[in-house]
Amino acid sequence: MKIVNLGTQGLKVSQQGLGCMGMSEFYGDTDETQGIHTIHRAIELGVTFLDTATAYGYDDEGPSSNERLLGKALKGKHDQVVIATKFGPLRSKTEHLGLDGSPENARKVCEQSLKNLGTDVIDLYYLHRVDPNIPIEESVGGMADLVKEGKVRYLGLSEVTVDQLKRAQGVHPISAVQTEYSLWSRDVEENGVLQACRELGVGFVPYSPLGRGFLTGSLKDRGQLKEGDWRLHNPRFTDDAFASNLRIVEGIEKMAAEKGCTPAQLALAWVHAQGEDMVPIPGTKRIKYLEQNIAALDVQLTHEDVQHLQTLAPVGQTVGERY
């Protein structure tokens, strides 16, 4: 696994990371032991970049159960990985309770995250969503104080506009922007965020690069989604949208068969082909899919292949909003 620069501040990570969210919540049944084994296998295969957040998972101790799972998995292994976590969203077990991007909350959550993760420093600390009631300069200023104190190494932002990114960069260097990006979610190409990241030397971390599992070709019917799977309430997975979006996947499946890879590997290879400043973090809770996703790095795409994929899934063809 190649190690690449994420941004221009010195942060180095594996060229593909692992999103850990689904190990604790959102995509049906979870199994902590299975999740830990998957994390250990990822490290064995050279994955150094692990992504979590305080908003992922809720158990008897409250929110952040995914951070606690990661903390258990990484005992004695912290020196082998780069941990990214995020603050901002407030939640109960079942409800979103708003956002708090205040410097005070950045500090409070950081202290709790350090405890949850069993570490002395967070490698990459993201503002998960911009708080509309607090200027982003204040949020990033609070995060910058944590860098000065040695509790955080690098700063990131998730789901920001070009203006917000530039204003944040004026307060403290931003190492990474995390946004959904895949063959069926290419908003950042149109709204200027991807170009701004490149102009400012900010790394780009695509989350859900497999379209929340849709681009893998494994989902053929909404009935496959189990109770508790949040995709049942996602606009792209409603009955009508599901049927329309399957047409995109059918084209990807056909091309994958011709290339001798899985649809998931082809979709991931397309993301990697967008540039070395891209470090996607496909999420999975199973070793089988982890290994398949890593094998996507061996899929070589020509310029013509990339262009053909983009004709199969042109901007604007996906039915339904992302959220």
Catalytic residue positions? Answer: 56
Query: Which residue's structure tokens are 């998972």?
Result: 57
DSSP string for residues in 234-264: SGGGSHHHHHHHHHHHHHHHHHHHHHTS-HH
Quick one: which of 189, 158, 195, 166 has its CA closest to 281? 158
Residue 323 CA to residue 320 CA, distance in Å, equals: 8
Under DSSP, the state recorded for 135 is: -
Residue 78, CA atoms < 13 Å, CB-side half-sphere: 13
Query: Which residue's structure tokens are 């969210």?
Result: 21
Quick one: which of 265, 269, 245 has its CA closest to 257? 265
* Strands 96-99 and 89-91, bridge-based pairing: antiparallel
